[in-house]
Amino acid sequence: MTDPDSVPAVTRDRRLALLGAPVESGASRRGCAMGPAALRTAEIVERLQRLGYAVDDHGDVNPIPVAGLELPGKARGAPEIAGWARSLATRTYALMQDGATPILLGGDHSLAMGSVAGVARHCAEAGRELFVLWLDAHADFNTPATSPSGNMHGMPVACFCGEDGFDGLFGDDFQVRVSPSNVAMVGVRSIDEDERTLLRRRGVEVVDMRAIDEWGVAAPMREFLRRVKSRNGLIHVSLDVDFLDPGVAPGAGTAVPGGATYREAHLIMELLYDSGRVASADIVELNPFLDDRGRSAVVLAEMTASLFGQTILARPARPVS
């Protein structure tokens, strides 16, 4: 077995590749399609460039046309979501193969069906284990058979973990599954009953707000990062704006009170950067129509900068012990 300390965590160059994914058909409320533009207006590119990265903004992705797809149960907009998933999987895979770090700008959280599929394929071919850190008020582990609403932004984790009900979503394309035991959900505070049953059955790690209230964010994050390091894994970070408390970031279509504070969120980002194991990221569910003069867009842009090394004081990266 390879000693994880002898292998570079992320052997990638300092190129970040931004992809806009203005999908909103997975949500019940319109407005997420404006998210990528709002993040660009909040100077997400310039913030990352100031950290010394070469940032390539690849513009907005277009979905691949898919017709006639029907999933069993409730799955609103399945053909369009499939089109986004196939396009994003292809693009993120190609960027990873080229050595860049893809950052997806959403758009609703259904886009993670595609982004994670592309990253997982690259990791499988590279012989690296992929872990997913899900920063969200919701578990998003519904399937078409369990979803009360049929909104597919509540299904991406179940999809990339290989739950039943998503056959045909990717057509005949190669899709690698992520083990549910490799998913860590942090900040969750709204779970449907059938979701709760599935999460327990599959062994997904859920750090809810009760745990954060008791232990803070540093302890569970360090434990997660130790586990990733012990298996020489890489991390895909998927950040939903509703992970944050609505008082910090009001621009969320599915806001839930009692979320993470500004400093808790930044500490998570800083610990992830220190780990050296972040390979890709999603920034999702920003709805500028519901925001307060761009406040949420600025907070998300700042958090992305923290994820890639911005700190209050310059300091060397601290290894995860």
Q: Active-site residue 285, yes or no?
A: yes
Residue 174: is it exposed, middle or buried by C-beta count within 10 angstroms (0-12/13-18/19+)?
exposed
Contacts of 147 (CB under 8 A, 6+ apart): 73, 74, 75, 154, 155, 192
For the record, the structure tokens of 66 come out as 């898919």
Cis preceding linkage at 107, omega within 30: yes
Pick the catalytic residue: 136, 195, 205, 270?
A: 136
Side-by-side strand order, sheet with 278-284: 54-60, 15-21, 101-106, 278-284, 234-240, 130-135, 183-188, 205-208
Catalytic-role residue among 108, 282, 285, 302: 285
Which residue carries 């707000």 as its tokens?
209
24 is catalytic: no
Q: Is residue 208 flagged as an active site residue?
A: no
Residue 138 annotated as catalytic: yes
Tell me how crowded residue 157 is: count the other CB atoms within 10 A of its CB: 30
Please pick, among 140, 274, 282, 291, the residue that the annotation labels catalytic.
Answer: 140
Which of 108, 242, 245, 270 is an active site residue?
A: 242
Given the residues 240, 245, 291, 302, the one annotated as active site: 240
Q: Which residue among the candidates 153, 236, 291, 302 is catalytic per the annotation?
A: 153
Handedness of CA 41, 95, 79, 140 (dihedral sign): negative
- 240 counts as catalytic: yes
Catalytic residue among 122, 138, 236, 266: 138
Residues with a catalytic annotation lie at 109, 136, 138, 140, 153, 240, 242, 285
